[in-house]
Structure 1
Amino acid sequence: MTKESENNKPAAGKAEDEADIQASPSPVPAKKIELRKEIGVLQGVGIIVGCIVGSGIFVSPKGILQESKSVGLSFIMWAVTGIFSALGAVCYAELGTTIPRSGGEYIYVLQVMGALPAFLVLWITFVAIGAVSNAANSLLFAKYCLSPLFVGCPVPELLTRATAFLSVALLCSINCINVKWATKTAVIISICKVSALILVTVIGFYNLAQGKTENFEDSFSGSDYGVGMISAFYQGFWAFAGWNYLNFLTEEMKRPSRSLPLAIVISLSLITVIYVTANLAYLAVLTPDQLIASHAVAVTFAERTMGPAAFIMPLFVAIAIFGSMNGEVLSMSRAAFTGASEGHFPSALAMVSATRLTPVPSVLFMGICTVVFQQLFTNQLDYLIELTGFAFMSIVLMAIGCLLYLRFKQPQLVRPLKLPIGVPITLFVITLLICIITFVKSPKESILSVVIMLTGLPFYVFGVMWKSKPTKLQQKVDGITYFVQKFLLVLPQEKPFDEQE
């Protein structure tokens, strides 16, 4: 019926229609298309512990000991870097509660410095730090998962790649189906990691109680208080990498002004204690030289102390790595989601499943990028991760700079958490010094790190700056977006991003 014929309808007919409408039951309100707030304090702790406690403490906790040159100084540096990381995480908690949006450093840099620096932060964070490290972790997961089945011989490369692919596929499936599943996975795996490290600690402390303390005698002999101590600090800082990942999920947290700081303080305190006690346990069984020479410290430790049960340690290592991968998928998919909502990534990545309310396109995009790096750059992944070090430290420096800028330029902002100003200033100065030391120590790698970040410029020019694209090209881009919407049954999120808690 046309609008005109409807207007010409007799008054009696209109009255009947109105009566029918009033008599009919009210329609059920449609489900709001938005990411749900599924993350509380426990889930937040699980995510941070899952991201930080990966292969490092199980496989290669030797960096600090190797650089500091003594057992005593190495323990001091573990504690110092733990406290430093906790301070950095608390500064990020202030940022996350002042700007309660998902996206981590990307969104803070966007608010303060503008579009181009924010896009480059997003580019290096998602592509290099996120997808590359996840690809490396997936291959490492496959290696430790399969090693008990191939005792005394190498694991076939094809089987390793297939297992790595399946691990990524499984994690992406979990994250696509239900955010609660992903956060529960993080909590369960974190409990497994902590349990494994408690087992190591109990065995180590039992050896200490038996009087095996020779590795701790004259513990500061040969300490390097110069360049070695600085390098040890740098090694420790990387051992705690991942403390910033919860900030990528701020909008999905229940009461982020409370949950974000609490989760950060609890998890960083727990991890610092775990790292120090685990290293005590290792050195109660292994000499410093044996620890440094070992390719997988926890496995060597288990072989010396657990007898026939030693086979479970590679499985614990695999579980730890799987947890880190889950944290990467959770956080980095949100980075892509937020970037797409700002027009910096394809718009399809900012859409949510109409039935499951999960960011399916961004999760799958993260999985695809991971698999591409996993299959094409298998032997270069560790080197690529090393190259991103300087860029990551630069990103942290920019984020703390944004915090200081907002403190002085926008003091009127509501800040549920407000640290003493000396904390971010001290952190900014120390991070700047780390960047300078990194550049001086490894100038070639630092320059290459910046080059990797700048490889995002062509994509920025094409996708963001070039507004007046030819009609046919724009139609093809729109066609891809429509296809993704129909194929995955996804819609743009309805919730306004400036909505405050």
Structure 2
Amino acid sequence: MGDTVQLKKQITLFQGVAIIVGIIIGSGIFVSPVGILMHTKSVGFSMIMWACCGLYNTLCALCYAELGASIPQSGGEYIYIRRAFGDYPAFVCLWINFLLICPVGIAALSLIASLYILQPIFPDCTVPPLAERFIAICLVWFLIAINCRNVKWATRVQVVITASKLIALAIIIVMGIVYLAMGDGESFQNSFEDSDFSAGAIALSFYSGFWAYSGWSYLNFLTEELVNPNRNLPLAIMISMGVVIGVYLVTNIAYLAVLTPAQMVKSTAVAVTFAEQTMGVMQWLMPILIAISVCGTMNGTALSMSRLFFIGAKNNHMPAFMSMIQYKYLTPASSLFIILCLTLCFQSSNDIWFLIEMEGFGFASILTIVFAGQVWLRFKEPDLKRPIKVPIALPAVLCLVSLAVVILTFYQKMTESLLALLLVAVGTVLYLIGNRWTNKPDFIQSKITAVNIFFQKLLLVVPQENEKDLQWD
């Protein structure tokens, strides 16, 4: 049964590490890694906060490793919340990812990548908005097309992109070492002077660092396509977090070896400012490498999130055609097509950063529910096989910390948070109509069926074969 219509196990440990590292290391470390420095007001304290944020995200990743190994199904946090709390909380998680986290993130990143691709062409003037949007649209189309065509192509692209961004960081690190060897270490003298140890400064700097490390959970959306997930999922997460923490710390040291803290805080793109002072005529290379880095985050997000929507549709939380896969290429083309459409809509927004702040509130809310569900599952299903088992106090504490982040976000960004809650309310209405209203009139059901058939013919997608017929290549 080599031609079984199924998603196949073809993502290796190495590719899994590339996916996670490629998603986490996006634009932040290149463009504006100054949030922590700005709030802590000292080099020494900022480095401590970078390490603490990395440790916190690693602990979060450990909890996800337990959940992924215990419940080895694609869909990540959506599956874990559904297992713990049932149907509706899982739908809320899916809806937030569907409407905010995935398309908003890809739309914003595509515009950032486009800006840095065009920057060397327009070095002394503003990049034309029309050209910026055109390149952004082309990037999204290209990456979605690769994901629709072949999973191996998408993961290989991710490996190449991850290698490219690590090369860019290696250039920065080597330059920084050279400057340190030459004795340019003024930024590290009296490194804790003027530190702001107030609770507000710590909270805001933690908030900045928290998002700089986001992306470690995305491999959990691909568990069913991961080779030997019980071994490779936790290994990939731990290896990736170790690589990212080390790279972030060393890169910040390299920046400070060349730039003063004041220059970093004022810079709109630290890596570009760094290149201007160190790379001479080759400084044009850095914006291109930043763009490639951002494309890696876009590609990994599309690859991972399409599986989430695919699984959600199988549970009747999304239209039925989104639970189908392309009959020839065995990819979730329907979900990828919807991601493309939503992303193109958000690309036309005049205030994409407002949407990103809504996205942040949604993600922190999801984490709170996931960790609460992990604690509850210890009591609800004590006999569940857990190849990895963290102390129950860990998800309990992380739940409280995530809840504090939600409250802080709500306090700082009340308008965005309220709008996010309103969108959840709209999703609730759709959930009641689509999922709970089982006895729909024939004329409504026929329209729904017609839409599913239309997309099935348009995208050449078919229902996935039964689990009992599954044979992995």
Output the TM-score relative to the length of structure 2: 0.96
1:228 maps to: 201
Aligned residues: 471
Structure 1 residue 476 displacement after superposition:
1.9
d(CA) in 2 for partners of 1:449, 1:346: 22
Matched, 1:399 2:370: yes
Structure 1 residue 500 displacement after superposition:
12
Matched, 1:263 2:236: yes
User: After the TM superposition, which segments of 4 or more aligned residues of structure 1 sit over 6 Å from their partners?
Assistant: 497-501
1:449 maps to: 420
The letter for the 1-side match of 2:158 is A
Matched, 1:201 2:169: no
d(CA) in 2 for partners of 1:495, 1:36: 13
Deviations 1:254-284 (A, max 9, x none): 1111111000000010000111111101111
2:324 maps to: 351
The SS at the match of 1:151 is coil
Q: Which moved more, 1:432-441 or 1:51-60?
A: 432-441
Asked whether the 8 Å contact 2:354–2:416 carries over to 1, the reply is no
Structure 1 residue 438 displacement after superposition:
3.0
Matched, 1:310 2:314: no
d(CA) in 1 for partners of 2:471, 2:261: 52
Once the two structures are aligned, what percentage of the paired residues are identical?
Answer: 47
Structure 1 residue 443 displacement after superposition:
3.9
Q: Which sections of structure 2, spanning at least 5 residues, go unmatched?
A: none
1:153 maps to: 125
Deviations 1:28-83 (A, max 9, x none): x5721110111111111111111111110000000000011111000000001001
The letter for the 2-side match of 1:453 is V
d(CA) in 2 for partners of 1:103, 1:235: 27
d(CA) in 2 for partners of 1:284, 1:99: 45
Asked whether the 8 Å contact 1:485–1:491 carries over to 2, the reply is yes
Matched, 1:240 2:189: no
d(CA) in 1 for partners of 2:468, 2:151: 19
d(CA) in 1 for partners of 2:343, 2:122: 26
Structure 1 residue 448 displacement after superposition:
3.1
Aligned pair in 2 of structure 1 residues 163, 336: CA closer, same or farther (>3 Å)? Answer: same
Aligned pair in 2 of structure 1 residues 497, 400: CA closer, same or farther (>3 Å)? Answer: farther
1:471 maps to: 442
Aligned pair in 2 of structure 1 residues 500, 482: CA closer, same or farther (>3 Å)? Answer: closer
The SS at the match of 1:352 is strand
Structure 1 residue 428 displacement after superposition:
2.1
2:38 maps to: 66
Q: 1:432-447 residue pairs with structure 2 within 5 A? A: 432-447=403-418
d(CA) in 2 for partners of 1:412, 1:426: 23
Matched, 1:93 2:57: no
d(CA) in 2 for partners of 1:230, 1:337: 36
Structure with the greater alpha carbon radius of gyration: 1
Asked whether the 8 Å contact 2:176–2:257 carries over to 1, the reply is yes
Asked whether the 8 Å contact 1:102–1:334 carries over to 2, the reply is yes
Q: What's the C-alpha RMSD, in Å, of the aligned pairs? A: 1.7
Q: Choose which of 356, 361, 364 in structure 2 pairs with 1:390.
A: 361
d(CA) in 1 for partners of 2:298, 2:130: 20
2:391 maps to: 420
Q: Which sections of structure 1, spanning at least 5 residues, go unmatched?
A: 1-28
The SS at the match of 1:455 is helix
d(CA) in 1 for partners of 2:99, 2:301: 12
Structure 1 residue 485 displacement after superposition:
2.0
Q: 1:115-134 residue pairs with structure 2 within 5 A? A: 115-134=87-106
d(CA) in 1 for partners of 2:418, 2:469: 37
Asked whether the 8 Å contact 2:102–2:301 carries over to 1, the reply is yes
d(CA) in 2 for partners of 1:447, 1:480: 32
1:167 maps to: 139
Asked whether the 8 Å contact 2:368–2:403 carries over to 1, the reply is yes
Q: Choose which of 20, 25, 40 in structure 2 pairs with 1:48.
A: 20
d(CA) in 2 for partners of 1:106, 1:208: 47
Matched, 1:482 2:453: yes
Asked whether the 8 Å contact 1:121–1:453 carries over to 2, the reply is no
1:342 maps to: 315
Aligned pair in 2 of structure 1 residues 444, 164: CA closer, same or farther (>3 Å)? Answer: closer
The letter for the 2-side match of 1:67 is H
The letter for the 1-side match of 2:270 is V
d(CA) in 2 for partners of 1:86, 1:498: 37
Matched, 1:362 2:324: no
d(CA) in 2 for partners of 1:39, 1:443: 40
Q: Which moved more, 1:59-68 or 1:402-411?
A: 402-411
d(CA) in 2 for partners of 1:453, 1:254: 35
d(CA) in 2 for partners of 1:246, 1:94: 13
d(CA) in 2 for partners of 1:67, 1:307: 31
d(CA) in 2 for partners of 1:85, 1:337: 27
The letter for the 1-side match of 2:256 is L
Asked whether the 8 Å contact 2:13–2:232 carries over to 1, the reply is yes
Structure 1 residue 425 displacement after superposition:
2.4
d(CA) in 2 for partners of 1:154, 1:176: 34
Q: Choose which of 251, 256, 261 in structure 2 pairs with 1:278.
A: 251
Asked whether the 8 Å contact 2:27–2:293 carries over to 1, the reply is yes
The SS at the match of 1:491 is strand
Aligned pair in 2 of structure 1 residues 373, 440: CA closer, same or farther (>3 Å)? Answer: closer
1:380 maps to: 351
Q: Choose which of 323, 336, 346 in structure 1 pairs with 2:296.
A: 323
2:225 maps to: 252
Asked whether the 8 Å contact 1:390–1:439 carries over to 2, the reply is yes
d(CA) in 1 for partners of 2:212, 2:468: 33
